[in-house]
A and B are shown apart, each in its own frame.
Chain A
């Protein structure tokens, strides 16, 4: 089996990956179970990961295309016991229900806030428009992302 070299959550790894395998298959096989499969066709966003800093559907990216690149999965977001402010905000605002879409939604938010620290509500909705959630009405996720943006801004100013 061919292999790919990926930097996953800041750790450099060489992983087996057949040429036709998607990033989703490879990551899940390696135990990154926060990358969820919801459709396998890029329609739901449950498998969202960051590829060189951009949120993508892991089910639509061939692992080979990610060779040499950096990947951030939900497992890499918290540092030890300290949750990332987006994770904290998702808990505080009641944005998590079943939690299956949550990792993807959080990573899309992370991508947004990394390039736009003061997003409008419309920009937030646009940023998570590829992440479907069937439990919530998106109200609390939008609020959580707003709250996280605020927390991250004030953390930067301290």
Chain B
């Protein structure tokens, strides 16, 4: 499961990073190898239907985990896990375009998605641009789309893209249903997070454009901050504006105030600057060891402004 990854195997870092060092300290175990946790795993089962997978998972919430690409399981498996539920038998692999948009199977790898023809021109090709910046090909060849959504690392470029693309997450938690992506990430899973079976992207007019900015320390780094904007260019203005910022260091969120300031307006340089400064003000920026709060606000301003300039067809 998972797209990008964790901190060299020290689990739960992302959840507590804002709380400082103390919570992450594992006394006397600097450099622990994960062989002990991984060797607790006794079996891997491969169900063929979502309901079978769900029953297995809910029967033993502590002792089981869903297995997608497996990256995050290798890096983070808690020692309580004895059974992995391999999702590759569910047949949820592949990308198809239909009347309603694009359907992406949860077990599709990020590389497969990157190369899938339906996304090449979707919203101006923004997904291609985003995916090219996720980690390296070595990880994109393993990580799955479903895993990326399930793990939802705070710096996730994939979750950011889903947000601005109004994706729906197809889940199974006793029954199949579709959840809008923002709602999915806003809702705390009660006991067991639902099984993700796919991602659906709505149909878009050919006027849809998207832009993405990522700030990292190196070319294959996770984002210190990332942002994306999508809008439909119609005569005289832009509609259906979506602006989201991630790695703040929290998971990406849309910025409704910034979106509203642009909705229906022409995309001028001045307007872009105004929207960007709203974004910088409202973004939930905080400090972690990679960047300060104020620097993240700066990056938000610059990133959103550059995205909007690109939407307007300017080079920034």
- CB of B171 within 8 Å of the partner chain: no
Q: Let me know if A40 and B137 touch, CB within 8 A.
A: no
Given A65-B67, A129-B219, A60 and B41 touching (CB < 8 A)?
Answer: no
Q: Let me know if A62 and B139 touch, CB within 8 A.
A: no
Size category of the B interface is: 35 or more
- CB of B206 within 8 Å of the partner chain: no
- CB of B187 within 8 Å of the partner chain: no
Q: Let me know if A60 and B39 touch, CB within 8 A.
A: no
Provide the bound-state CA to CA distance between A132 and B78, in Å.
28
Q: Specify which of A43, A56, A111, A125 is in contact with B142 (CB 8 Å cutoff).
A: A56
- Of the stretches B68-76, B235-243, B277-285, B294-302, the one at the interface is B68-76
Q: Let me know if B142 and A57 touch, CB within 8 A.
A: yes
Q: Let me know if B142 and A61 touch, CB within 8 A.
A: yes
- 1/0 per residue A28-70: CB within 8 Å of B? 0000000000011111010010010011110111101100000
Residues of B within 8 Å of A15, CB to CB, are: none
Q: Let me know if A54 and B73 touch, CB within 8 A.
A: no
B73 closest partner in A (C-beta): A62
Residues of B within 8 Å of A62, CB to CB, are: 44, 67, 70, 73-74, 84
- CB of B174 within 8 Å of the partner chain: no
Q: Specify which of B40, B67, B137 is in contact with A127 (CB 8 Å cutoff).
A: B137
Q: How many A-B residue pairs have CB under 8 A?
A: 93
Provide the bound-state CA to CA distance between A45 and B77, in Å.
21
Residues of B within 8 Å of A21, CB to CB, are: 38-39
Q: Let me know if A19 and B42 touch, CB within 8 A.
A: yes
Q: Let me know if A39 and B8 touch, CB within 8 A.
A: yes
Interface residues of B in 82-128 (CB under 8 A from A): 84, 86, 88, 111
A47 closest partner in B (C-beta): B138
Residues of A within 8 Å of B138, CB to CB, are: 42, 45, 48, 55-57, 108, 130-131
Chain A: interface residue total (CB-CB under 8 A): 32
Chain A nearest CB, measured from B87 CB (Å): 11
Interface residues of A in 44-103 (CB under 8 A from B): 45, 48, 51, 54-57, 59-62, 64-65
Given A19-B44, A60-B70, A54 and B111 touching (CB < 8 A)?
Answer: yes
Interface residues of B in 1-17 (CB under 8 A from A): 5-6, 8-9
- CB of A20 within 8 Å of the partner chain: yes
- CB of A18 within 8 Å of the partner chain: yes
Chain B nearest CB, measured from A16 CB (Å): 13
Provide the bound-state CA to CA distance between A45 and B141, in Å.
13
Provide the bound-state CA to CA distance between A18 and B43, in Å.
8
B10 closest partner in A (C-beta): A41
- CB of B234 within 8 Å of the partner chain: no
- CB of B177 within 8 Å of the partner chain: no
- CB of A141 within 8 Å of the partner chain: no
Given A18-B39, A55-B138, A56-B138, A65 and B5 touching (CB < 8 A)?
Answer: no
Provide the bound-state CA to CA distance between A15 and B223, in Å.
39
B42 closest partner in A (C-beta): A19
Provide the bound-state CA to CA distance between A129 and B219, in Å.
8
Q: Specify which of A20, A39, A40, A60 is in contact with B139 (CB 8 Å cutoff).
A: A60
Provide the bound-state CA to CA distance between A43 and B136, in Å.
9
- 1/0 per residue A3-20: CB within 8 Å of B? 000000000000000111
Q: Let me know if B43 and A129 touch, CB within 8 A.
A: no
- CB of A22 within 8 Å of the partner chain: yes
A66 closest partner in B (C-beta): B70
Residues of A within 8 Å of B39, CB to CB, are: 18, 20-21
- CB of A114 within 8 Å of the partner chain: no
> Using a CB–CB distance below 8 Å, which chain A residues touch chain B?
2, 18-22, 39-43, 45, 48, 51, 54-57, 59-62, 64-65, 108, 111, 125-127, 129-131
13 inter-chain pairs at a CB distance below 8 angstroms, sorted by A residue, are: A21-B38, A42-B5, A45-B136, A56-B142, A60-B74, A60-B139, A61-B74, A62-B44, A62-B67, A65-B86, A111-B137, A129-B136, A129-B220
